[in-house]
């Protein structure tokens, strides 16, 4: 173990976190027609707060009723019943002295048109991922390149969803700019070959993210948090680096740091992995160009890895560790020997089986 920062407080905007531990956003695909997750999925979130996580993220919440949905059973927060359902969970999380953050998501070209109300797949460019959709075992459809109307409509979806989140009492929203979904598709030259103002240079590829951030910021109540998640990897074509090199990534982070975001959340496969042959990890490369609060995630499974990750970041998120071990925060507090869960084991998240 390297240092003892894990259980120390941290100031994030106007909030004081009781420790540096958060539950990573995890999609559960449990919502019915009404767009509301199953009760046991809500209970799972509250239990993670009760176990001591200072931040509890929701699953990725779909931002519109048109083309944002990528998986069956994804949740929304744009109707009053949806807002009321989440309000109860947020209250429960607050009663545990934890923060509730809602993640907002548009899948872009990762769409499965059958589960999308408009049966459309839209993206920066008409380029499909090269791999098949693992859920349908069929190729992803080639998306339609987004028009100016599509762009403004999608931005409105983020704004409406953020409004829903704040009406439900969430402490903040996160814009999902990671994992090869829509915003990430704009950021990456791999999926964005546009020749207009939204493609080409790093600044142009960042434009869509910037417009989403600016629009959401306008309706974010004073004192509430706005966070942006970014990654170098995507769910499809996993072997492809979404940023061409270190410079491409760091230029993007510099642009992000000029925006009104309270924290940058960096998602990795493994937090300590070398990035772009730089001899530095993703958190270090991020820190090198900004001192905005930094959240790190990826491969943290015990006290030692959690403390190690915090050498280069302010807050750590655990996905699989907290998904599959409801006692994880207490366990790391006691420095129990723990092992790393696999993605296969995490597959239970998508089944109807309630998680402890
Ligand atoms: C079941 C499951 C669902 C996930 N859903 C999301 C999601 O909705 N949004 C997101 O940004 N990341 C999602 N992720 C990625 C996690 O937030 C996290 O970045 C990843 O699991 C790596 O962290 P870990 O090694 O601690 O598990 C998901 C991961 C799992 C295992």
How remote is the CA of residue 323 from the centroid of ligand 1, in Å?
Answer: 9
Contact 326, 355 (CB under 8 A): yes
By most ligand atoms within 8 Å of CB, the mutation choice from 21, 25, 308 for ligand 1 is 25
The pair of three-digit structure tokens given for residue 171, joined into one six-digit string: 């402490």
d(CA 277, CA 34): 47
| Binding site membership of 287 for ligand 1 (Cβ less than 6 Å) | no
d(CA 73, CA 37): 8
- Alpha helices per DSSP H over 188-276: 202-219, 246-257
By most ligand atoms within 8 Å of CB, the mutation choice from 70, 242, 319 for ligand 1 is 319
How remote is the CA of residue 24 from the centroid of ligand 1, in Å?
Answer: 6
| Binding site membership of 24 for ligand 1 (Cβ less than 6 Å) | yes
| Binding site membership of 346 for ligand 1 (Cβ less than 6 Å) | yes
Q: What is the pLDDT of residue 1?
A: 47
Residue 140 designated active-site: no
Q: What is the pLDDT of residue 2?
A: 58
Question: One of 57, 181, 249, 276 is an active-site residue; which one?
Answer: 181
Contact 232, 282 (CB under 8 A): yes
d(CA 61, CA 158): 10
Query: In order along the chain (356 residues), what is the average pLDDT of each group of 10 residues?
Result: 86 98 98 96 98 98 94 96 98 98 97 86 96 91 97 98 98 98 97 98 98 98 98 89 95 98 97 97 98 98 98 98 98 97 96 95
- The number of the ligand 1 atom at minimal distance from the alpha carbon of 60 is 8
- Alpha helices per DSSP H over 29-179: 39-50, 80-95, 148-167
Contact 199, 125 (CB under 8 A): yes
Q: 113 vs 126, 143, 305, CA distance in Å?
A: 15, 10, 39
By most ligand atoms within 8 Å of CB, the mutation choice from 23, 26, 230, 238 for ligand 1 is 26
Contact 62, 40 (CB under 8 A): no
Contact 171, 15 (CB under 8 A): yes
Q: What is the pLDDT of residue 252?
A: 98
| Binding site membership of 202 for ligand 1 (Cβ less than 6 Å) | no
| Binding site membership of 229 for ligand 1 (Cβ less than 6 Å) | yes
- DSSP-derived pairing of the beta strands 132-133 and 138-139: antiparallel
Contact 157, 150 (CB under 8 A): no
- The number of the ligand 1 atom at minimal distance from the alpha carbon of 347 is 1
DSSP 3-36: ---TTS-EEETTEEESSSEEEPP-------TTS-
Residue with tokens 């998904």: 323
Among candidate residues 307, 215, 243, the one with its CA nearest the CA of residue 4: 307
Among candidate residues 297, 287, 300, the one with its CA nearest the CA of residue 341: 300
- The number of the ligand 1 atom at minimal distance from the alpha carbon of 341 is 27
Q: 344 vs 216, 239, 341, CA distance in Å?
A: 35, 18, 8
d(CA 278, CA 53): 32
- DSSP-derived letter for residue 108 is G
> Domains in the chain, ordered, with CATH?
10-350 (3.20.20.70)
Contact 21, 99 (CB under 8 A): no
- The number of the ligand 1 atom at minimal distance from the alpha carbon of 350 is 1
């Amino acid at each position: 173990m390297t240092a003892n920062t894990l259980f120390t407080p941290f100031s994030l905007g106007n909030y004081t976190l009781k420790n540096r531990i958060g539950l990573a956003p995890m999609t559960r695909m449990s919502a019915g027609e009404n767009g509301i997750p199953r009760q046991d999925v809500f209970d799972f979130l509250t239990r993670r707060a009760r176990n001591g996580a200072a931040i509890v993220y929701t699953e990725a919440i779909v931002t519109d009723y048109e083309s944002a949905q990528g998986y069956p059973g994804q949740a929304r927060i744009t109707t009053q019943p949806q807002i009321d359902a989440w309000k109860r969970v947020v209250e429960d999380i607050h009663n545990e002295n934890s923060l509730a953050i809602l993640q907002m998501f548009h899948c872009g070209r990762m769409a499965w048109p059958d589960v999308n109300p408009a049966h459309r797949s839209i993206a920066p460019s008409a380029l499909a991922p090269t791999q098949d959709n693992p859920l349908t075992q069929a190729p992803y459809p080639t998306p339609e390149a987004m028009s100016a109307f599509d762009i403004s409509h999608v931005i409105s979806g983020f704004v409406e969803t953020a409004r829903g989140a704040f009406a439900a009492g969430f402490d903040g929203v996160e814009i999902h700019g990671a994992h090869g979904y829509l915003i990430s598709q704009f950021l990456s030259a791999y999926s964005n070959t546009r020749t207009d103002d939204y493609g080409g240079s790093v600044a142009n590829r960042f434009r869509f993210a910037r417009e989403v951030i600016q629009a959401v910021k306008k309706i974010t109540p004073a004192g509430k948090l706005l966070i942006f998640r970014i990654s170098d990897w995507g769910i499809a074509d996993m072997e492809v680096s979404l940023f061409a090199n270190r410079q491409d990534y760091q230029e993007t982070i510099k642009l992000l740091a000029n925006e009104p975001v309270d924290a940058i959340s960096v998602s990795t496969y493994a937090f300590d992995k070398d990035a772009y042959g730089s001899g530095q990890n993703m958190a270090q490369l991020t820190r090198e160009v900004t001192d905005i609060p930094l959240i790190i995630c990826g491969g943290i499974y015990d006290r030692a890895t959690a403390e190690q990750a915090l050498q280069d970041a302010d807050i750590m998120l655990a996905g699989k560790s907290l998904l599959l071990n409801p006692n994880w925060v207490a366990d790391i507090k006691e420095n129990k020997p723990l092992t790393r869960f696999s993605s296969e084991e995490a597959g239970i998240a998508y089944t109807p089986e309630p998680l402890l």
